[in-house]
Every structure is written in C-alpha cells, then in structure tokens.
Amino acid sequence: MRSHINSSSPLAHEVLAAVLQVRYATLRVLLWRRALDPHLGRWSLPGGRLRPDEDVETSIRRQLAEKVDIRQLKHVEQLAVFSAPDRVPGPRVVATAFLGLVPSDVDPEVPEDTAWHEVDNLPRTAFDHREIVLKARDRLRSKLSYTNVGFALAPHEFTISALREIYSAALGYKVDATNLQRVLSRRGLLEPTGHTAPSGRGGGRPAALFSFGCEGIRVTDPFAVFRPPPSRR
Amino acid sequence: MRSHINSSSPLAHEVLAAVLQVRYATLRVLLWRRALDPHLGRWSLPGGRLRPDEDVETSIRRQLAEKVDIRQLKHVEQLAVFSAPDRVPGPRVVATAFLGLVPSDVDPEVPEDTAWHEVDNLPRTAFDHREIVLKARDRLRSKLSYTNVGFALAPHEFTISALREIYSAALGYKVDATNLQRVLSRRGLLEPTGHTAPSGRGGGRPAALFSFGCEGIRVTDPFAVFRPPPSRR
DNA sequence: ACAAAAGTGTTTCCCGTACACCCATGT
DNA sequence: ACATGGGTGTACGGGAAACACTTTTGT
C-alpha cells in the first residue's frame, strides 16, 4: 500500500534543457563545460536542481535565464524523464529533460564556459546528455511536419529561401522552397509583411519577406488518417 | 553553479499510470479508491513510490503487476512529469505519468478496491489524476493515426468490425470499417489468419479474422509533409 | 425470398511533390 | 544581354473518404 506520509527514499531531481538553434545551415545545441568532478571538463546540458517552490518548467526557464536571454527562448516543451539509477555517479538524480528553441537570428551572449555545438557532430558529453540531445533533435524533426514549431526557429521576418535553409538544417535534408511555401501558406501560417530583402551580390530578384502570424505552438495537421467526420452545421 | 555533491532539497518521486482499455464500446481507465487520508475515498491512478534501484518504467511495471497481469499490458510509454509544488498536500511529490494499454478481450482480475471507469465520464479523482487521464487519452488518440498502437487495444484475433468498434471508442467518433481495413492493410499491419467468426443472431456473412502481425509500437506514417527525398539507389 | 452483416469496387477529392516557366534585379 | 536568384503555374501521383454494389450467411 502506498502512502503519502511514509516518505521513503527521497532523491534529487534535476531539470535539463537541450536548447536548439539553426545557424550556419546547421542545427546546434547549447552546451557548457563542467567545472566539477564527475565528468569534469566534459560538455553537458544547462540545467540544475529543482527547487522546492517551482515546477519543472518554471525551473528550467529560471536556470536557462543564466545562459540566454529568456525572451529569446521561443518554445519550451517537456521531452522525457531520464531515471536510470546509475545515470550519474554518486547519489541518485532523476532528470526531467526539455527541448528549447531559439530563433536563428539571435546570437545570445553566452557565458564563457558555454558554447554551441553541432548536433550531428557532438563532442564527448557528460552522463546521458548525448542521448537527451538526440531525442530533442528527433522530437523537433517530427514536430516540424505536423505543427507550426518552425516559428520558433525562424527570425521574425524572413525570406522563403532563408526559411528553407532552416527547415533543411533541422530536418537533415533539403526541402523544396516552393512546396515549403505552399504547405505553410495553405495552413495559414505565413503572412507576407510587404517588405522585400535586397538582392544579393550576383543580382537576382529581391525576395519578399514573410513572418509567422501566430506565436505559440499549434498542431496544424492533427490527423493523418482516421479523421473525424466533418462537423455538420 | 550546480553540483552533484551539494544535494539540496531532496524530494519524493512517484510513478503513476493511466491504464486504458476499450470495452463495451467505451474507453476505460483503471482507478483505485484511496484508503488513506489525503483525498480518502477518491479514485486515483495506480502507482507509487520510485525505488532506489529502478528506473521509472521498471517501477511502473512492478507496481502495475499488483493490479493487472503484467503480460496483459501490451504497451507502456511515458506521458509527462507532473511537478506543481502543491499537486499533492503535504511533503512534495513529483510524479512521472505513464500511458498503459490493455487489449479489449482481457478482463483482468483486479483487486477489490480497483475498478474501470469511463474516461469520458470520470468520477471525482484525487489530486491531478484527472488531468493525467485526459492527457493519456489524447496521446492515445493521436498515436492511433500515425502508429500501430491499435495492436495494444485489439485482441489477438479480431474481425474488422470489432476493430472498428475499438478504434471508434478510443477516438470518440465512428470510423469507417472499409477504410480502416484499407489503411491498415496498406501499411502492412493486418494479417489474415484464415479463420472466420460465426455470424450473429440475424444471419449475415461470417467475418474473416485478422491479427496484427507486429508486436511493439512502430511509427507507420512518419512524415505527413516535408518528406525526405526518396533514397536513390 | 428476405434480412443482415461482411467485403469489394469505384469514384472523388485533396494534398504534397516535381518541374517547367516567368519575373525582377545586378553586372 | 545575360546571369542569378525569386516566384508562379501546371501536371502528376498517392492516399483517404464516401458510397454503391456484391457476397455469404440465417430465418
């Protein structure tokens, strides 16, 4: 029988975040170099202990504020719990992992011991952090296709080809600019701003600038199959 | 600076599971009546404290074994962490919630204080358990369309119309038997067993029996859009 | 014969893709 | 003029939904 009075086996709880950004046509993650002994010098995810008065999301936002300007974090979502008893040496720590997204146009001031790393070319990481990063990448990849998360990776204003670079880098393969525009337009996500970007060195037609109308994640393609019957009016 | 030595603010961690089953054309969840004081008498999710030597999935499987035959649990997956500081009265408890699925043909012996309840007509529940159940339901609904989770709700052998009842109950609206068969066949999930079911009281053609070939969850419709280019050979 | 339930065929629609073609600008 | 990159139009294919039609049983 379980009881809420019998408080057996308390343990520590940490929150970690894989903060992702697309830059230089690559998907990157924010890591910091450990300054303490277990796995000293290895790269690890930002985060830390859960405090008594905060829930996990509040906690990760607070802790990330030390690394990046919190307003630049356009999206945060729970990833999974990592709880293998030996996932860190010493006393047991259960971790709640998050996925965070930062638009590609911001270059946040990060502390000295912190740096961006290519997700597809990770350095040696501490503990199970590599696994967490890869899970974050996979989550992002699937959500790009059926939600509007793209807004959290894109600058406020962008050309279609810039957006194409972002989607391509995140997904790991080239997407067609034409169809990207068509799909996002059909879903009502793309708003023309009226502005245009100057054409590049070799000439070329100046590109129109767009922005994502909506803030906040939304499912845009909820049911691939077994759709509910269209609501009669 | 975070440290793995400075073990500040330990707390308790519990694991909970929303175990779902379709029966009598309704989606049901396994709840048990609390015998202890905080929220005594209210219905709550099975689960309990995480032990020092187990990860969360091992823990929930162990604890569910007290309620249902573990072999009947066809699918288990993490749902989310619930961590509001005041989610339970008294000392703080963080919960990792799971979704569990049981096929519709098993009628497990459940302890006396345990019973199935309609998900769409829940009784008063303890703590935040209602929220957890609804989240489990929503997760199941979306996964039915792009994965093969259906296998975890269906009996080993079934007719298409029986399967239709299951999908309809889980999704909350009628699905077309014809298209259900076509979609699942196209995805290579349905295997004809060769057997047929006897026809009902009013006659009617006897139905062919099918089974899901695969055990274990698989994504069957990975990318709605932005598909990777077909791999050249 | 008739009703009932299962299964099949056909049609339609929509979405995503591929690709050819047109447009605007710099040199 | 011509190269360069942006944008549009069109045609194709596939998957899913809707629904009529056929098949097989019981009464």
Which one-letter amino acid corresponds to residue B126?
Answer: A
pLDDT confidence of residue A202: 73
Provide the shortest C-alpha distance from residue B163 to chain A (in Å): 13
SS3 category, A141: helix
- The model's pLDDT over A159-176, given as tens digits with 9 standing for 90+, comes to 999 999 999 999 999 999
Nearest CA in chain B to A84: B55
The answer to whether the Cβ–Cβ distance between A225 and B221 falls below 8 Å is yes
pLDDT band (50, 70, 90) for residue A53:
very high
Provide the shortest C-alpha distance from residue B60 to chain A (in Å): 12
CA dist B213 and B227 (Å) reads 26
Provide the shortest C-alpha distance from residue B204 to chain A (in Å): 26
Which one-letter amino acid corresponds to residue B20?
Answer: L
Q: What is the mean pLDDT of chain B?
A: 89
Q: What is the mean pLDDT of residues B147-163?
A: 95
Q: Tell me which chain A residues have a C-beta less than 8 angstroms from the C-beta of B146.
A: 224-225
Q: How many angstroms separate the CA of B148 from the C1' of D27?
A: 40
- The model's pLDDT over A120-154, given as tens digits with 9 standing for 90+, comes to 999 999 999 999 999 999 999 999 999 999 999 99
Q: How many angstroms separate the CA of A151 from the C1' of C16?
A: 21
H/E segment holding residue B14: strand B12-23
Determine which of A15-29, A43-57, B62-76, B89-103 has the lowest per-residue pLDDT on average.
B62-76
Cβ pairs A/B, distance under 8 A: 146
Gyration radius from chain A CA atoms: 20
Q: How many angstroms separate the CA of A93 from the C1' of D5?
A: 53
- The model's pLDDT over B121-140, given as tens digits with 9 standing for 90+, comes to 999 999 999 999 999 999 99
Judge whether residue B222 has pLDDT over 60. Answer: yes
The answer to whether the Cβ–Cβ distance between B36 and A4 falls below 8 Å is yes
Judge whether residue B7 has pLDDT over 50. Answer: no
Judge whether residue A31 has pLDDT over 90. Answer: yes
pLDDT confidence of residue A233: 46
The answer to whether the Cβ–Cβ distance between A85 and B12 falls below 8 Å is no
More confident residue, A204 or A208: A208
* DSSP secondary structure, B42-71, as one string: -EE-SEEEPPTT--HHHHHHHHHTTTS-GG
The answer to whether the Cβ–Cβ distance between B85 and A175 falls below 8 Å is no
Q: Is the CB of B211 under 7 A from strand C?
A: no
pLDDT band (50, 70, 90) for residue B151:
very high
Q: Is the CB of B198 under 7 A from strand C?
A: no
pTM given for the model: 0.92
Mutation choice for B interface testing from A4, A33, A59, A218 by most B CBs within 10 A: A4
Q: What percent of chain A has pLDDT over 70?
A: 94
- The model's pLDDT over B172-221, given as tens digits with 9 standing for 90+, comes to 999 999 999 999 999 999 999 988 888 777 767 889 999 998 788 999 98
- The model's pLDDT over A62-104, given as tens digits with 9 standing for 90+, comes to 999 988 888 889 999 999 999 999 999 999 999 999 999 999 9
CA dist A137 and A101 (Å) reads 11
Q: How many angstroms separate the CA of A179 from the C1' of D12?
A: 15
Cα distances from A42 to residues A38, A129, A169, B102, B117, in angstroms, run: 9, 10, 26, 43, 49
Q: What is the mean pLDDT of residues A48-61?
A: 95
- The model's pLDDT over B43-63, given as tens digits with 9 standing for 90+, comes to 999 999 999 999 999 999 999
Q: Tell me which chain B residues have a C-beta less than 8 angstroms from the C-beta of A49.
A: 2, 8-9
Q: Residue A130 phi/psi, 5° resolution?
A: -60, -45
- The model's pLDDT over B62-113, given as tens digits with 9 standing for 90+, comes to 999 988 888 889 999 999 999 999 999 999 999 999 999 999 999 888 888 8
Nearest CA in chain A to B141: A223
On strand D, nucleotides with any atom < 7 Å from a protein CB are 3-9, 15-20, 23-27
Give residues with Cβ within 8 angstroms of A156, minimum separation 6. A103, A105, A211
CA closest to C1' of C24 belongs to: A205
CB atoms within 10 A of CB B35: 11
Provide the shortest C-alpha distance from residue A107 to chain B (in Å): 23
Beta carbons of A59 and A12 less than 8 angstroms apart: no
pLDDT band (50, 70, 90) for residue A201:
confident
Q: Is the CB of B208 under 7 A from strand C?
A: yes
Q: Cβ-count burial of A232 within 10 angstroms (0-12 exposed, 13-18 middle, 19+ buried)? A: exposed
pLDDT confidence of residue B9: 60
And the tokens for B89? 């009265």
CA closest to C1' of D19 belongs to: B178
Q: Is the CB of A146 under 7 A from strand C?
A: no
Q: What's the 3-state SS for A166-228?
A: HHHHHHCCCCCHHHHHHHHHHCCCEEEEEEECCCECCECCCCEEEEECCCCCCECCCCCCCCC
Judge whether residue A9 has pLDDT over 70. Answer: no
Q: How many angstroms separate the CA of A178 from the C1' of C21?
A: 14
pLDDT band (50, 70, 90) for residue A3:
very low
Choose among B11, B81, B144: nearest Cβ to A81.
Answer: B81
pLDDT confidence of residue A215: 80
> Taking the mean position of all CA atoms in its chain, how far away is CA B165?
16
End-to-end CA distance of chain B: 51
Judge whether residue B2 has pLDDT over 50. Answer: no
